[in-house]
Structure 1
Amino acid sequence: MSESWDASSMPDQSGKTVVVTGANSGVGLEATRAFARKGAHVVMACRSVERGEAAKAEVREDVPAASLTVGELDLGDLGSVRSFAEWFGGRDLPLHVLCNNAGVMAIPRRETADGFEQQFGVNHLGHFALTGLLLPHLRETSGETRVVTQSSGVHERGRIDFDDLHGEASYDKWDAYAQSKLANVLFAYELDRRLGGDADSADVRSVACHPGYADTNLQRRGPEMAGSRIRLWLMKAANAVLAQSPEDGALPMLYAATAPDVDGGDYVGPGGLMNMRGPPEKQRSSDRSYDESTARRLWEVSREATGVTYALSAPS
């Protein structure tokens, strides 16, 4: 990693197709803009097509030649995830990079359309299902392809509570968020282990990343849903003082998706103050994120919950 690495340092992406979930705002929007500047065709997977089209128009103001397509994807609805995968398959496109970026953070307890606690359902289970359904396209695409799963530094406080995954007995919004973000890293590593044991997937890499502390709408949604003006004001004040821009927050994901020195199973984040800001670098995630028995159990629970089966064997 170079201390001067930024979006302009990305290799040329001409001829590549990238799917970015949550592409209409924040880090996802800035990653879309950066990929488009480098010549990639970006599929903007958004819960709201209307907001996705508005974001697409915004990117084209900066990058007139941007190649962009908006697709409807609600990660909180497995039916929508399957519909998006079928829609993408019908477009006969290659798939070079899947950026599992969208998420919700520290919200009051809600359930997805399938009855999952929303943070675990959207942040982890929705992306688990999406990746499994799009994996054939990643495997069939010529050359190296990557799955990049966005986590958070908050994963370090996370634990997977298999006895109460969906917070039905007890719910704390930050514990639930931390659990979902730990699940992201466990999934990324377990996926890479399984890919490594499959000859047909030798060119697919799975990488985890985190954006540090970026000023996006992600932090605002929880206070807004709770109707707390004080918490919303405090969050805005903290963002103004501590957070880096969404453009900088997108750099770890861009680095994980495109840098030639990235290997499967890597974890990328900002290398500056307390790993909250700064240029991207490879880092070590929490000790719990490397627990292979937990990762295997989470994989099986996720497979059963989503009904999505990967054609990959568990590592021996």
Structure 2
Amino acid sequence: MKLQTQGIGYETAKALASQGLSVTIGCRDSAKAGTALQRIREAVPSARVDSVALDLADLTSVRDCAKRVLDSGVQYDVWINNAGVMACPKMSTAQGFEYQLGINHLGHFALTTEVLPGLQAADKPVRIINVASAAHQFGKIDFNDLMRDQKYDAWEAYGQSKLANIMFTYELARRLGPGSKVTANCLHPGVVKTELGRYMIADGQKTWYMPLLLEGFKVFMLEPEQGAATSIHLASQPDLASETGKYYVSCRRAVSSNDSYDREVAAKLWERSVELTSVAAAPAPVAAEPAVVAAASS
């Protein structure tokens, strides 16, 4: 399963298809999905790719997608949560969640926990990979204003959503427990030339110079295929089959922020996420811990 139809998501899907994997992409726009599938097939004639409807801003769509995945009987080897939004104005999802937390964290949380029983039932190694960001380092989980209703800052909200990605990954690894065939890892893809910054450009009507700055900064950005490298590494390297609860940057183990390793906050975020999304399949904590949860320096 590969989520997203362009940028890092597209390049990851194309690369995995070229390795002989059967790839499913999830997206909310059927026309864009069709274009992405056509491009992949043109680039990789032997590709086995299809798509499934998914709007992470609507939990009804998320649940429908999860049901279709489970009903399909497909036994996935890799599950990548890649889609996201960044620094958007104050907006809300269909369920009234702050847009960035709703899409970047709660949508992926609900989808992953809903399909988890199917991933576990396959009784084989399955890799769950969450695309986070170095922006988690300025993120704070504020349970008193999780939806940023009292005070909204686009970058603070983005940082919180990316920190949530990492804490979700670590907590999932802990709840799966030692010896689980399903693993969970996360990564920072780098600063990549994608449409992720589209809201910053749109805001150029208020800040006229932002589009110019972004255009100039592209010289220092990674190409999408470079940004996809770490996702592909985690998805395909044989020696990472049992790796879990880790954070990667540039295909190497890295250390995430101190806050990201706060187990009490992670457990509380998990329970709050369950309440908000009403997922029914979230795994309970296990008594034992994985051998290593905190990432080590490379």
Structure 1-normalised TM-score? 0.87
Give the stretch that moved more between structures: 182-191 or 305-314.
305-314
* Whole-angstrom distance in 2 between the partners of 1:127 and 1:115: 16
Is 1:293 aligned to 2:274, yes or no?
no
Whether the 8 Å CA contact 1:207–1:265 is kept in 2: the answer is yes
Aligned to 2:295: none
Aligned to 1:238: 217
Aligned to 1:269: 249
Q: Secondary structure at the match of 2:209?
A: helix
Deviation at 1:221, TM superposition (A): 3.3
Deviation at 1:99, TM superposition (A): 0.3
Is 1:221 aligned to 2:199, yes or no?
yes
* Whole-angstrom distance in 2 between the partners of 1:136 and 1:254: 24
Match of 1:45 among 15, 26, 46: 26
- Any runs of at least 4 consecutive aligned residues in structure 1 with deviations exceeding 6 A, and if so which? none
Counting aligned pairs with the same residue, the percent is 39
Aligned to 1:21: 3
Instruction: Name the CA shift for 1:187/1:30 in 2 (closer, same or farther; >3 Å).
Output: same
Aligned to 2:14: 33
In the alignment of these two chains, the number of paired residues is 284
Q: Tell me the amino acid that sits aligned with residue 234 of structure 1.
A: L
* Whole-angstrom distance in 1 between the partners of 2:199 and 2:52: 23
Give 1:46-195 correspondences, 5 Å limit: 46-195=27-176
Aligned to 2:235: 257
Give the stretch that moved more between structures: 136-145 or 164-173.
136-145
Structure 2 unaligned blocks of 5 or more: 288-298
* Whole-angstrom distance in 2 between the partners of 1:296 and 1:268: 22
Q: Deviations over 1:28-75 (max 9, x none)?
A: 000000000001111110111110110111111110111111111000
Q: Tell me the amino acid that sits aligned with residue 181 of structure 2.
A: D
Q: Tell me the amino acid that sits aligned with residue 150 of structure 2.
A: A
Aligned CA-pair RMSD: 1.4
Structure 1 unaligned blocks of 5 or more: 1-18, 271-279
Structure 2-normalised TM-score? 0.92
Q: Deviations over 1:197-218 (max 9, x none)?
A: 6x7xx10001011101111111
Is 1:283 aligned to 2:254, yes or no?
yes
* Whole-angstrom distance in 1 between the partners of 2:163 and 2:191: 17
